[in-house]
Structure 1
Amino acid sequence: MRIGIIGTGTVGRTLGGKLVALGHEVTLGSRSKGNAAAEDWAARTGPLAHPGTFAEAAAFGDLVINATGGTVALAAVELAGPENLAGKTLLDVSNPLVFAPDGEVTLDPVNDDSIGERLQRALPDTKVVKALNTVNCEVMVDPGRVPGEHQLFVAGEDAGAKAQVTALLGEFGWPADAVLDLGGIDAARGLEMLMPFWLRLMRHYGHADFNYAIRTAR
């Protein structure tokens, strides 16, 4: 599959590297041409890896991943071009983290809105799916880093798009029964609000190789 990634940070590069290793062709998009991180990633990753702009990545991908920070996600997809995303699945892995100078972390938006919902409103012709935002990027592409059974979550309005994302997660090593469908894109609110708790857990454990394991009586 041809996959476009919007964002050249650690998350975007990690996802892109795994996707190329799986045989997908990936364009890693940045705000402008000649981005050093994207160019270096493509040079190290191989012939299926390409650097590009946000717009080029969005136009290239049959499926597109938003791997930008949540506070800049709307601006990034505007640069990517709604026309380049129309009719496609947009996998949103972002979190709306706001870091204060003293290290305090807050969310914007929070409680009555989410980045996932804002993206869907801004892109009515795109099928936005929220997923992967509740784990570290290394665990995203290698769930075996955390022993035992543990889960991911998906949220979105389009069942077909969620099935497409679930299939891609399966290629990463996530069994289908480990991916819990939480319903519409408004479920992104709760998923994004998990992040302050996740950060506390990371400080507690001293590493990011952990995840949530949901147990039910039925």
Structure 2
Amino acid sequence: MRIGILGTGNVGQALASAWARAGHDVVVGSRRPDDPALLAELKEPVAAGLRIEGSAAAVSHAEVVVNATPGTASVALLQSIGAPALAGRVLLDVAVGFLPDGTPSHPVVSLGEEIQQAFPDTPVVKTFSTIDRGLMVAPRSLEGPSTVFLSGDDPDAKRVVRGLLADLGWSHDSVLDLGPIATARGQEHFADLFVAIAQATGTYEFGIRVVPPATAAP
């Protein structure tokens, strides 16, 4: 599958390299693709031979666009690319926005919802906003199973994203569909609890799991 990754930070790099290893055709999109300093920063994608293009070129290449940009800048960047360029492509949104004081930038309506409202012809699926980048690409690194969530309005887009998660090692049983894109609020608002858990445990490399009630004995 052709994937365009918007965002050259740690999350974007980790996902780009992992999906490339899984056999996908990945292009990394940047606002400064020819900057030598950027190329020096992108050690893993460059080592993997991935193409570094402008953001618009990465979108035009892609069947699936991954938004791994800072959440406070995501909508503006996508608007600079334009709704016609994004129309019909699945947009996998992993971003969470934070203000300079560390508080969430979307305390009421989630970033995922904002993107979907701004681009109604682009099916948006929210995932991965409850875990660190290391776990995104290595779910089997934990002592036990973990849960990852999906939010989105389009069933076909969710099926595509499920397939991409499976390519990273996430089993079918580990993926919980929360429902429409409005449920992205729950994913993004987990950020405060995520930080508290990380501080309490001393690591960001942890997962959470939804545990159903025990089945009553017959």
TM-score computed with the length of structure 1 as normaliser: 0.92
Of the candidates 190, 194, 201, which is equivalent to residue 194 of structure 1? 190
CA distance in 1: counterparts of 2:37 and 2:91, whole angstroms? 22
Structure 1 stretches of at least 4 aligned residues deviating more than 6 Å after TM superposition = none
SS of residue paired to 2:203 = coil
Tell me which residue corresponds to 2:133.
Answer: 137
Please report how far the alpha carbon of residue 191 of structure 1 lies from its aligned counterpart in structure 2 after TM superposition. 0.7
Q: Which residue of 2 aligns with 1:147?
A: 143
* Corresponding residue number in structure 1 for 2:31: 31
- Correspondence 1:5 to 2:5: yes
Residue 17 (structure 2) aligns with: 17
- The match for 1:55 is 56
Map 1:64-213 onto structure 2 (within 5 A): 64-100=65-101, 105-111=102-108, 113-213=109-209
Residue 37 of structure 1, CA deviation:
6.2
CA distance in structure 2 between the partners assigned to 1:155 and 1:171 by the alignment:
19
Secondary structure at the aligned position of 2:5 is classed as: strand
Task: Give the Cα separation in 1 of the matches to 2:62 and 2:204.
Answer: 29
Q: Is the 8 A contact 1:92 1:116 kept in 2?
A: yes
| CA–CA distance in structure 1, aligned partners of residues 122 and 37 of structure 2 | 27
Structure-2 separation of matches of 1:130 and 1:180: 12
| Secondary structure class of the residue paired with 1:70 | coil
What is the CA–CA distance in structure 2 between the aligned matches of 1:167 and 1:90, rounded to whole Å?
14
Structure-2-length-normalised TM-score: 0.92
Change in 2 beyond 3 A, CA 1:67/1:203: same
**CA positional deviation for 1:110:** 1.0
Identity %: 36
Deviation at 1:177, TM superposition (A): 1.3
Query: How many Å separate the matches in 1 of 2:38 and 2:6?
Result: 11
Maintained 8 Å contact 1:29/1:38: no
- Counterpart amino acid of residue 80 in structure 1: I
Cα distance in 2 for partners of 1:57, 1:43 equals 15
Matched to 1:58, the amino acid is V
The change in CA–CA distance for 1:145 and 1:200 in structure 2 (over 3 A counts) is same
Give unpaired runs (5+ residues) of structure 1: none
* Runs of 5+ unmatched residues, structure 2: none
